[in-house]
Amino acid sequence: MSEKVLVLNATEMPINITSWQRAMVLMYMGKAAGVKFNGRMINGKMRLPEVIKLSKYVPMPYTDVVLSRKNIYLRDNHTCQYCGKPGPNLTLDHIIPKSRGGDESWENLVVCCARCNCRKGNKTLEESGMKLIGTPYRPSSALYLHMTRLAGVPESWYNYFFNRN
């Protein structure tokens, strides 16, 4: 079994992803309680959790996501935000070009392929006639970006990442 478990702080804010073994230890010691279970049993007696919640609040250090090339690639899933093609020949594009006053921000940077970047050039979206596949956004946490790299993320986790402001 290689199941991962989402750990929530006492405020129900996601703070970590841990192994099922560590989650079971936290629950056994009374430091956490199961919130969602995946239907599997351990030794036929204990339900295996998908999400646990800590019993006591744990203060978290600064958790804002750093604006970096790597994090923009993760946010955009290594996919061109104009044509939708994944690929090795990707770069970053400023939606509003820097020469037109565009800034380095989560909302102005997207991943795009070299072909689309050349096509758009130093133009705005309207001038180039191009459209974005999705709206660029600031990720809610570094944990969210980590979650995007995991395969087979339980659907129950999404409630804790996407139903927040």
Q: DSSP per residue over 46-99, as a string? A: EEEEEEEEESS-------PPP--HHHHHHHTTTB-TTT--B-SSEEEEESS-GG
Distance CA 3, CA 157 (A): 13
Domain assignments of the chain as residue spans, ordered by start:
4-61+140-162, 69-128
Distance CA 82, CA 127 (A): 14
Question: What is the architecture, at CATH level 2, of domain 69-128?
Answer: Orthogonal Bundle (1.10)
What confidence score (pLDDT) does residue 1 get? 45
Give the model confidence (pLDDT) of 110-149 as tens digits: 999 999 999 999 999 999 999 999 999 998 787 888 777 7
Q: What is the pTM of this model?
A: 0.70
Asked if residue 74 has pLDDT above 60, the reply is yes
Asked if residue 103 has pLDDT above 90, the reply is yes
In terms of average pLDDT, the best of 10-14, 28-32, 72-76, 145-149 is 28-32
Q: How confident is the model at residue 163 (pLDDT cuts 50, 70, 90)?
A: low
Query: 142: burial class by Cβ within 10 Å (0-12, 13-18, 19+)?
Result: middle
Task: Output Rg (C-alpha) for the chain, integer angstroms.
Answer: 20
Q: ∠149-130-138 over CA atoms, to 5°? A: 35
Q: How confident is the model at residue 162 (pLDDT cuts 50, 70, 90)?
A: low
- β-strands 109-113, 90-94 pairing: antiparallel
What confidence score (pLDDT) does residue 30 get? 97
Give the model confidence (pLDDT) of 39-61 as tens digits: 899 888 899 999 999 999 999 87
Q: How confident is the model at residue 27 (pLDDT cuts 50, 70, 90)?
A: very high
What confidence score (pLDDT) does residue 79 get? 95
The rounded percent of the chain whose pLDDT value lies above 70 is 96
